[in-house]
């Protein structure tokens, strides 16, 4: 199955480190970051889960729930979580799916045979409260993810959902934003962007980020 942006994230029921999870029900009205790992007790994954655990307060501020996945069983997850907490100086307060039968991995196309026939690559999905897929990033097994980028994209998605703007390259929360080309009426521009805007080209209109 191939997932694309805007698709409904497949629902599933699967075991996890906190018990059986029904994904859509578990999400509730929150955003979700679903991310897979090749295997438990692997070094890069250990650092990634530690980083995710330390970002809990940042995810909470953004109404985001994190959930990991590997194809190892629950008892193996439990031992690995202890290692993560001890070596990364954190508390793993989010669930890790035990996708032993690879049901979720297949639903989300997380197994790439040219990387491995059995283990998941580093897939990451940002899913909004309407259960729509908003971002898909896939890293190779050898490269750890940039979780600052995950937070940056969540900020951009939430901003552009609430205001009629787009974000430029390397945008961070608080930076100037871009006015979409769909807005051309000057009256609408003045109403939506009371701080004004600069237009170095007719198609490139830059305005301060709206107040949240």
pLDDT in tens, the chain (212 residues): 689 999 999 999 999 999 999 999 999 999 999 999 888 999 999 999 999 999 999 999 999 999 999 999 999 999 999 999 999 999 999 999 999 999 998 899 887 666 665 566 689 999 999 999 999 999 888 889 999 999 999 999 999 999 999 999 999 999 999 999 999 999 999 999 999 999 999 999 999 999 87
In a 10 Å sphere around its CB, with 0-12 CB exposed, 13-18 middle and 19+ buried, how is residue 154 labelled?
Answer: buried
User: Which is nearest to 158 in space by CA: 56, 53, 58, 21?
Assistant: 58
Residue 1 near residue 109 (C-beta atoms within 8 A): yes
The answer to whether residue 45 is catalytic is yes
pTM of structure: 0.92
Q: Which of 9, 45, 49, 141 is catalytic?
A: 45
């Amino acid at each position: 199955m191939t997932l694309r942006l805007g698709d409904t994230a497949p629902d599933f029921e699967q075991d996890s480190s906190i018990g059986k999870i029904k994904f859509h029900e578990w999400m509730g009205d929150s955003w979700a970051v679903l991310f897979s790992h090749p295997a438990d007790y692997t070094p890069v994954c250990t650092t990634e889960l530690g980083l995710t655990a330390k970002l809990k307060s940042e995810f909470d501020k953004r109404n985001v729930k994190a959930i990991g996945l590997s194809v190892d069983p629950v008892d193996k997850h439990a031992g690995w979580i202890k290692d993560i907490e001890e070596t990364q100086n954190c508390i793993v307060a989010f669930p890790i799916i035990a996708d032993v039968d690879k049901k979720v991995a297949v639903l989300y196309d997380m197994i790439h045979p040219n990387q491995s026939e059995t283990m998941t690559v580093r897939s990451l999905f940002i899913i909004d409260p309407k259960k729509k897929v908003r971002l898909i990033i896939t890293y190779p097994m050898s490269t750890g993810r940039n979780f600052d980028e995950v937070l940056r994209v969540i900020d951009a998605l939430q901003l552009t959902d609430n205001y009629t703007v787009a974000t430029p390259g390397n945008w961070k929360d608080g930076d100037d934003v871009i006015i979409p080309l769909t807005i051309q009426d000057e009256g609408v521009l003045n109403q939506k962007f009371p701080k004004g805007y600069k237009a170095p080209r007719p198609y490139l209109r830059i305005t301060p980020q709206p107040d949240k």
